[in-house]
Amino acid sequence: MTIAIQILVLGLIILSVISLVTVPVILASPGEWEKSKNIVYTSAGVWSMLVIITGIANLFIA
């Protein structure tokens, strides 16, 4: 179970770093928001689910 949580946290870190770079670039580029807003919303949803799943999985570790 510990390895599963470590993989979840690694995925969370990777997605956070990718979002940290790409979201400001998308928002600063003219016309990119209309093309990429679905990707931003989807990645935010995936990030939120990773946080929730990691928190729930962490409850089972004693």
Q: Tell me the pLDDT band of 62, cut-offs 50, 70 and 90.
A: low
Backbone dihedral angles phi then psi of residue 61, each to the nearest 5 degrees? -95, 125
In angstroms, the Cα distances linking 13 to 2, 32, 34, 43, 62 are: 16, 25, 26, 13, 23
The structural domain count of the chain equals 1
Q: Which pair of structure tokens corresponds to residue 26? A: 């998308």
Question: What is the C-alpha separation between 55 and 59, in angstroms, rounded?
Answer: 7
pLDDT at 12: 96
- Pair of tokens at residue 37: 């807003």
* Integer Rg of the chain from CA: 14
**pLDDT tens, residue by residue, 3-31:** 999 999 999 999 999 999 999 999 999 99
pTM above 0.75, yes or no: yes
Domain range spanning residue 54?
2-59
